[in-house]
Amino acid sequence: MSNKQPQVHELTMVEAVNLALRRALNDDENVVILGEDVGTNGGVFRATEGLKQDFGFKRVMDTPLAESMIAGMSVGMATQGMRPVAEIQFMGFIFAAFEQIVCHAARMRNRTRGRLQCPLVIRAPFGGGIQAPEHHSESTEALFAHIPGLKVVIPSSPTRAYGLLLSAIASNDPVVFLEPKRIYRMIRHRVTDHGQGLPLDTCFTLKQGSDVTLVSWGAMVHETLQAARKLEADGISAEVIDVATISPLDFETIRRSVRHTGRCVIIQEAARNGGVASEISARIGESCLPWMKAPVQRVTGFDATMPYPRHEHLYMPTTDDIVAAARQTLEGI
Partner 1 sequence: MSRQHDFDWLRLAYRHMVTIRALDKKAVALQRTGQMRTYPSSLGQEAVGIGIGMAMQDKDVYAPYYRDQATLYLRGVRLSQILQLWGGDERGHLFEGPAARDLPICVPIATQLTQAAGVAVALKSRHEKQAVVTSCGDGATSRGDFYEALNLAGLWQLPLVTVINNNQWAISVPRHLQTGTETLSQKAVAAGIEGIQVDGNDVAAVHDAVSAALEKARSGKGATLIEAVTYRLGDHTTADDATRYRDKQQVSDAWQNEPIKRLQTWLHDNNEWSAGQEQALQKEVQQLIEKAVTDYLAAEAQPVDEFLQFQYEKMTPALLEQQALIKARSEQGRDNS
Tell me: does residue 104 bind partner 1 (CB under 8 A): yes
Residue of 41, 50, 123, 40 lying closest to 84 (CA atoms): 123
Tell me: does residue 286 bind partner 1 (CB under 8 A): no
Computed from CA positions of residues 288, 294, 300, 303, in that sequence, does the dihedral angle turn out positive or negative?
A: positive
Tell me: does residue 186 bind partner 1 (CB under 8 A): no
User: Which of 9, 104, 135, 136 does the annotation list as catalytic?
Assistant: 136
Helix (H, G, I), strand (E, B) or coil at 88: coil
Applying CB under 8 A, the span of 2-10, 17-25, 63-71, 312-320 interacting with partner 1 comes to: 63-71
Show Cβ contacts of residue 240 under 8 Å, excluding neighbours closer than 6 positions: 205, 206, 207, 209, 214, 216, 221, 224, 225, 228
Tell me: does residue 260 bind partner 1 (CB under 8 A): no
Applying CB under 8 A, the span of 9-17, 80-88, 235-243, 325-333 interacting with partner 1 comes to: 80-88
Tell me: does residue 109 bind partner 1 (CB under 8 A): yes
H-helix or E-strand containing 87?
strand 83-87
Number of residues that bind partner 1 (CB under 8 A): 47
Q: What is the distance, to the nearest Å, from the Cα of residue 103 to the centroid of all Cα atoms in its chain?
A: 21
Determine contact, residues 9/190, Cβ cutoff 8 Å: yes
Determine contact, residues 205/257, Cβ cutoff 8 Å: yes
Closer CB to partner 1, 248 or 262, in the complex:
248
Give whole-number Cα distances, 108 to 115, 150, 253, 268, in Å: 9, 11, 30, 30
Q: What x-and-dash track marks residues 25-44 binding partner 1 by CB under 8 A?
A: -------x------------
Q: What is the distance, to the nearest Å, from the Cα of residue 282 to the centroid of all Cα atoms in its chain?
A: 21
- Residues in 138-177 that interact with partner 1 by CB under 8 A: 148-149, 151, 171-173
Closer CB to partner 1, 79 or 300, in the complex:
79
Q: Which of 250, 257, 281, 316 binds partner 1 (CB under 8 A)?
A: 250
DSSP readout, 89-144? S-GGGTHHHHHIIIIIITTHHHHTTTSS----EEEEEE-S-S---TTSS---HHHH
Tell me: does residue 266 bind partner 1 (CB under 8 A): no
Q: Which of 26, 117, 226, 328 binds partner 1 (CB under 8 A)?
A: 117
Tell me: does residue 114 bind partner 1 (CB under 8 A): yes
Judge whether 136 counts as a catalytic residue: yes
What single letter denotes the amino acid at residue 47? A
Residue 146 beta carbon to partner 1: minimum distance, rounded to whole angstroms: 13
- Residues in 201-230 that interact with partner 1 by CB under 8 A: 201
Tell me: does residue 111 bind partner 1 (CB under 8 A): yes
Tell me: does residue 100 bind partner 1 (CB under 8 A): yes
Binding site residues, partner 1, CB under 8 A: 32, 58, 63-64, 66, 68-69, 71-82, 84, 96, 99-100, 103-104, 108-117, 148-149, 151, 171-173, 201, 248-252
Catalytic site positions: 136
